[in-house]
Structure 1
Amino acid sequence: MAAEGKEPSILGFPCAPELGAAAHRKALAGHLRRCRDHAGIAPRQAARCLGTSTARITRIEKGQSALRPAEVGRLLDSYGATDPLERTRVDELLCEADRPEPWQDYANVAPPPVRPLLGMEPAARRIISYEPQLVPGWLQTAEYADTVIRAVYPTMPGRQVAERVALRTQRIGMLRRDENPPVLLAVMDSEVLCRKIGTPGVMYRQIEHLLALLEELPFRIRLQIAQLSAGAAGAIGHPVVHLRFHTPDYLPDMVYLEQYEGAQYREKPAETERYQAVLNNLCWSADPAGDTPGLLKKALAFWRSA
C-alpha cells in the first residue's frame, strides 16, 4: 500500500505459495492500479502503452486477466515505478501468479461462477459460511457430495460427477495445511441434519465425519447449528461465504452469494461489511459451537435407527 503522497508499495504482500495464484494475481492487479493512480495516468493512456483496450486494462487491474511479465514491466516503467526492491517483489509475485489454481485440474467440471471463490479461499485468514440446505462443501464426505451433485445434475456423466466430487472434497486440505491455514466459521440450519441425502447410512457417515473434523481441527473449524428459533437471522435463504484475508491492505474482503444457476460476488466495503453484520447476527442467534457435538450425536442416533 502507500501512505498519502508516497509511491505505492507491494513489499508488504508476501510471496507465499500456499495463498494460491489468484491471490498473488489480485494483489499485483491492485498494485498496478495504485501505481497508475499515483502517476496520474488515465486507463486509456495505460492502454496505449500496451496497444490494447481500456477494457483490458480494467480487467488487468481487477485481477480478471492474465498478467504477462513484459506487459507488467512496461506499465510500471510508464508509471515511474522503478524501485529495484519493488520490481524484484513484483517478479516474485508474477511467478506465483502463474502457478495452477486449485480448480484447474478439474477445469472441465469446475463451474465458472465458483472459480473465483475456489481461487481465493486458500488465501483467506477467516471464512464465515452460512448454508441453509446442505452440509457446507468443505465438510462433505465423498458419498454425500456425490448424492448432492447427482441430484442437481441428473444427466451428468458418472466420470464428471466423480471429478466434481474430488474437486469439492479436496477443499478441506487448505484447513489441514501447516502454513497460514484459514479458520472456517460455518453455520448451517438444523434442518440439514434431518434432511435425508441419499440413504440413512450416507447421513450417518456424514455426521460422523463432521464430529471427526471437529475433533481433528478444533482451532480451525467452528460449526454452529441454527435452529428455527433463530428467526429472521436465519432467513437468508441462500448460501453466503465471507472471506477475510491475511493481507487486508492488499486483498479486500470478498463475499460469495450462491445461486442455483450461478453466483454473485461483492467486494465493495459497504457491501462486504453489511454481509459481515448479517453473518455475525446469525452466529449470535445460532446455538453455541460448544453445543454442536451434542447435536451431532443426537442426529447420529436418529440416523442409526432410521
Structure 2
Amino acid sequence: MAAERKAPSILGFPHRPEWGAAAHRKALAGHLRRCRDHARIGPSQAARCIGASESTISRMENGQAALKPPEVQRLLDTYGVVEPAERSRIADLVQEAAKPEAWQPYANAAPPTLRPLLAMEPAARRIISYEPQLVPGWLQTEEYAEIVIRATHPTKPAREIAERVGLRTQRVEMLRRAVAPPVLLAVMDSEVFRRQVGTPGVMYRQIRHLLALLEELRYQLHLQIAPLSVGAAGAIGHPIVHLRFFTPDYLPDMVYLEQYEGALYREKPAESERYQAILNNLCGVANPATQTPALLEAALAAWR
C-alpha cells in the first residue's frame, strides 16, 4: 500500500507583523494551493464552495486577492484541514494579510511597478542590490533623492516629489529594526561618486551619509564599490535587487529588475538563481567591503 501523503503545514511560517502584509498573504496563498492539491480538489470545485469563480481562486492562490476569513474557513473545511494549531496560525496570517501594505502610507507616491518590491522587502533576510548609476535608494539623503526624482519626473508637482522622497528615504528604517532586520549588501559602480547630482555640497553630504550609515549599521549594511576594471561583470546597465527571505519554503527568492519606464520581477528558481550568480560574480570582483570606508573618504575629498 502506498504511504499516505503528508498534509502540508503552515506552522513553519511564523506570524511576524514586521514582515508586512504582503509576505503573510503570499505565504498563505501558496499554502492554500498546496492544501487544495493535497485534497485533490480542482479549482472549479473550490470556487463553488465559496460561491466564486475559478479566477478568484487563482488570484487567491497567487496572493493577488484579499483573503476573507469566512472564505478561507470554508476552503479549509473543504480541504479537510482540521488541526487546531494549523487553523489558528492560518487565522493569524489572514488577519495580518489584511493590514495595510508597507507602501500604502505613500500610496500616491509609490509607482505600481515598485509596490511589489516595497511590500516584500521588509520580510527579506538578505537583500543584494546593484546600482550602476546612483546611490541605492535606501541610502540616499533627502536632498540627493529629491534631485534624482525631479530629474526623472520633471512635471510632477512639488507635493508628490516630497512624498516620493519620503517614501525613498524611510526604507532604510527596516535595517534599524530591533527584531531580525534584513542585511543589505549594496554594490555601486565607482562612477556613482564622479557623477555629480546637484551641487558639490550635495555629493559631499551624501558620501558623509554613507560613511555614517556604515558606522551605525555595521552588521546590517555591507557596501562594495565596483571599479571600472571589473569590465563585463559590471556592464549590467540597470539596477538589480535580489531578495532572499527567512522562510524560503514559503517565500521563494524575488528579483527586481528596474527599467526606465517600469520594472520586471522574476521568481522562478532558475531565473532567480541566474541573477544570484550574476550578483555573486559582481561582488567577487568588486572592492571588498572592508575597503569601502577608505574609498568613500577618497571620494569625499574630491567634493570638498
Which one-letter code corresponds to 2:200 in the other structure?
Answer: P
Q: CA deviation at 1:63?
A: 0.9
For residues 207-236 of structure 1, the C-alpha deviation after alignment (integer angstroms, 9 at most, x for no partner) is: 000000000011100000111111111111
Measure, in 1, the Cα distance between the counterparts of 2:239 and 2:184: 15
Which one-letter code corresponds to 1:118 in the other structure?
Answer: L
For residues 50-102 of structure 1, the C-alpha deviation after alignment (integer angstroms, 9 at most, x for no partner) is: 22222221111111111111111111111111211100111111111111111
Measure, in 1, the Cα distance between the counterparts of 2:50 and 2:107: 29
Q: Secondary structure at the match of 2:99?
A: coil
Q: Secondary structure at the match of 2:5?
A: coil
Counterpart in 2 of 1:53?
53
Measure, in 2, the Cα distance between the counterparts of 1:4 and 1:96: 32
Indicate if the aligned counterparts of 1:128 and 1:279 stay in contact, CA closer than 8 A: yes
Q: 1:80/1:157 Cα in 2 relative to 1: closer, same or farther (>3 Å)? A: same
Q: CA deviation at 1:49?
A: 2.0
Indicate if the aligned counterparts of 1:18 and 1:180 stay in contact, CA closer than 8 A: no
Structure 1: unaligned runs, 5 residues or longer: none
Question: What does 1:220-299 align with in structure 2 at a 5 Å threshold?
Answer: 220-299=220-299
Counterpart in 2 of 1:82?
82
After TM superposition, the structure 1 stretch with the greater mean CA deviation from structure 2, 264-273 or 93-102, is 93-102
Which one-letter code corresponds to 1:128 in the other structure?
Answer: I
Question: What does 1:127-166 align with in structure 2 at a 5 Å threshold?
Answer: 127-166=127-166
User: Is residue 99 of structure 1 aligned with residue 99 of structure 2?
Assistant: yes
Q: CA deviation at 1:4?
A: 8.2
Q: Secondary structure at the match of 1:51?
A: coil
Q: Secondary structure at the match of 1:113?
A: coil
Measure, in 2, the Cα distance between the counterparts of 1:264 and 1:283: 22
Indicate if the aligned counterparts of 1:117 and 1:256 stay in contact, CA closer than 8 A: yes
Runs ≥4 residues deviating over 4 A: none
Indicate if the aligned counterparts of 1:190 and 1:226 stay in contact, CA closer than 8 A: yes
Question: What does 1:19-58 align with in structure 2 at a 5 Å threshold?
Answer: 19-58=19-58
Counterpart in 2 of 1:186?
186
Counterpart in 1 of 2:169?
169
Measure, in 2, the Cα distance between the counterparts of 1:117 and 1:147: 22
For residues 145-165 of structure 1, the C-alpha deviation after alignment (integer angstroms, 9 at most, x for no partner) is: 000000000010000100110
Indicate if the aligned counterparts of 1:258 and 1:264 stay in contact, CA closer than 8 A: yes
Measure, in 1, the Cα distance between the counterparts of 2:264 and 2:59: 17
Q: Report the aligned-residue RMSD.
A: 1.2
Q: Secondary structure at the match of 1:204?
A: helix
Q: State the TM-score, normalizing by the size of structure 1.
A: 0.97
For residues 264-298 of structure 1, the C-alpha deviation after alignment (integer angstroms, 9 at most, x for no partner) is: 11111111111100100000011111111111111
| Percent identity over paired residues | 74
User: Is residue 62 of structure 1 aligned with residue 67 of structure 2?
Assistant: no
Structure 2: unaligned runs, 5 residues or longer: none
Which one-letter code corresponds to 2:161 in the other structure?
Answer: V
Indicate if the aligned counterparts of 1:138 and 1:168 stay in contact, CA closer than 8 A: yes
